[in-house]
Structure 1
């Protein structure tokens, strides 16, 4: 089978080129991770973060499955650039000796501020390279929580998210067909969205309403 690649994106307020050039050219500070203290103090800052999962299966390593589940809490920000990406490749196997490659990336980002400039990019790409009968799945799920006032995920919410993370790990390691794995990954994404919406329901009230936005992209073989 000939090589095949395709990539799509979900973005907010910005094109891919602007994400590469705009924020970085403006001198945005380096990668920022969880900052609940800043969420409490209201310190304003700019931040960029990128999460990426890559899996590769071939005749030497017939199966590779990887996932990530990251929580990035930025507090009150002026500008934020977030990127989430999953890539899976199967190469050189056959129908009688097929490969399986799975990459799943769940990224949760919380930002606060009424005039935050948010740039969000979410990508997945699955490629079969001369790999007849192979199963290849890449899934990128990006959850953006935006609140007008400083807000952090409490211990109960983190506990619920940790439970979903454990089940994502088990799903990724499973032998389920790619089509069913996609369905179950979507189910877990739905649970994450519900947990986050429950959390923001208790966020401090302001003129603007808190929002939870899911960017989802899956790519895979066998085809959709």
Structure 2
């Protein structure tokens, strides 16, 4: 037995317990802060946001599962730095006394205007340390929505996202094998992508076409 770290897979076919929505615009210091809805359309320079989930299963806590589903709506920005991260670890369990660790993070960020600098970081890492037969899964899904003018998701889109978040929570807490869990979470990500694409289809068309980009990172040890 030993400490194992699996190579991270490349992006897949797509390029917290409630939907949390934050309207953001850059302040004078260049760090995004929550502001009233009407301020989201005002001048902005920079925006910074980070979301992360970490789960750690061990001999004292054989099962630990966590998820996050966050929606962050930015106003006009000139530059943005967004980070989404999921880390899961299983430590010092055995084949006869297995652990299960699941960390899933969905991050939706909307930005508007002529963004010259966008840094989007999406990271997942699943680690088994002296934990043969354990199931460990980390998944990070980052959706970046870019539109010429600030995008405000309507009531229908919010209801759909809230339903997806509820089902994500159910999956996270399920006992499904890690391989099947990956498939089902991917399907939910596809649904989110569809909701966002429908939303940008209704957005005003400017010089730059509205776009939705999904960054997907999955890392896992399915166990035996």
TM (norm. structure 1) is 0.86
Q: Matches of residues 87-98 of structure 1 in structure 2 within 5 Å?
A: 87-98=87-98
Q: For residues 10 and 207 of structure 2, what CA distance do their matches in structure 1 show? A: 27
Kept after mapping to 1: 8 A contact 2:92/2:129: yes
Q: What's the CA shift for 1:115?
A: 3.5
Looking at secondary structure, tell me which structure has more helix per residue: 1
Return the offset for 1:206. 1.0
Residues 193-208 of structure 1: pairs in structure 2 closer than 5 A: 193-208=193-208
Q: Distance in 2 between matches of 1:75 and 1:205?
A: 16
Name the Cα RMSD after superposition: 2.1
Please list every run of at least 4 consecutive aligned residues from structure 1 whose deviation after the TM superposition is greater than 3 angstroms.
Answer: 6-11, 31-36
Question: What is the deviation of 1:116?
Answer: 3.7
What are the equivalent positions in structure 2 for 1:116-195 lying under 5 Å apart? 116-195=116-195
Secondary structure of the corresponding residue to residue 180 of structure 2? helix
How far apart are the structure 1 equivalents of 2:35 and 2:143? 15
* Counterpart secondary structure, 1:218: strand
Partners of 1:181 and 1:34 in 2: CA distance: 37
TM-score norm. by structure 2 comes to 0.86
> Residue in 1 aligned with 2:39?
38
Aligned to 1:211: 211
Q: For residues 195 and 207 of structure 2, what CA distance do their matches in structure 1 show?
A: 23
Number of paired residues?
A: 207
TM-superposed CA distance for 1:35, in Å, is 6.2
Question: Structure 2 CA distance, aligned partners of 1:96 and 1:154?
Answer: 50
2:84 and 2:10 map into 1 onto residues whose CA distance is: 10
3-state SS, counterpart of residue 212 of structure 1: strand
